Amino acid sequence: MFLTQMHLNPARRGTRHLLASPQRLHAAVLHGFPPGSTLGGPAGRVLWRVDQAQASITLYVSSPAEPDLTHIVEQAGWPTAPQHWRTVSTAQMHDRLAAGQEWVFRLTANPVRNERVPGERGKRHGHVTVSQQEDWLGSRSETWGFSLVTAEVTGRRHVTFSRRGPDTAGSVTLSMATFDGVLQVTDPDALRRSLTSGVGRAKGYGCGLITLAPVR
């Protein structure tokens, strides 16, 4: 697996165009891989996340193959910059994961609950309060291979956008929460699957990517 980091130019109209629709940005990310690329399966899938802090906008992409993001640079980056994006292999880090280790983590997710309706298909509702979202993460972390040492919601937003496809059309509304904290590895294999395949729902819309950094 590879992790790519790319800074987006907040002054570009193309940046605002991409950020306005997670479906549009997802399509742009997928266009970074040539036809025939393996973009899903046991090895992992393409995941992405946008981190925004004041005037800084950073796109992260986790993928089984290295992407070429030239088209995003031309639309939403700095075409004359000496380096447009940075890609590193995460294989070594994943291989050395062991129970008991602690890592700083960040995750943007779509915390939801299922409402059972007799005789009908269950409906999903987004968790909208901080306490609901934090409880959602705490209740699922063990199945994803880690326990929480510390965790807090550091960002929240609602996103509504149009979804169009061969068989679908309509609007989508997502309640998204960004979590920052420290995790402890409890099941290295489960955590590796979480890192490569993502967690929760709305993985195609910028949710589910966990990134790790050493505890300092």
116 CB-near residues (< 8 Å, 6+ apart): 122
The per-residue pLDDT for 31 is 97
Cα–Cα distance for residue pair 36/39, rounded to 1 Å: 9
Indicate whether this model's pTM tops 0.75.
yes
Look-up of token digits 């980091």: 5
Task: Identify the segments of the chain with pLDDT beneath 50.
Answer: none
CA-based torsion, 140, 159, 202, 22: positive or negative: negative
> What would the pLDDT profile of 77-89 be if each residue is shown by its tens digit?
999 999 999 999 9
The per-residue pLDDT for 125 is 67
Beta strands (DSSP E) in 56-132 are: 56-63, 86-89, 102-109, 112-115, 123-126
Please give the full DSSP string across 39-92, using - where no structure is assigned.
Answer: -SSTT---EEEEEEETTEEEEEEEESS----HHHHHHHS-TTSS---EEEE-HH
Q: 162, 170 in Cβ contact below 8 A?
A: yes
Range 195-215 burial, b when 16+ CB lie within 10 A, else e: bbbbbbbbbbbbbbbbbbeee
Q: 205, 23 in Cβ contact below 8 A?
A: yes
CA-based torsion, 179, 181, 185, 189: positive or negative: positive
The per-residue pLDDT for 167 is 57
Cα–Cα distance for residue pair 155/130, rounded to 1 Å: 10
Helix (H) or strand (E) holding 18: helix 13-19
Q: Give the 3-state secondary structure of residue 37.
A: coil
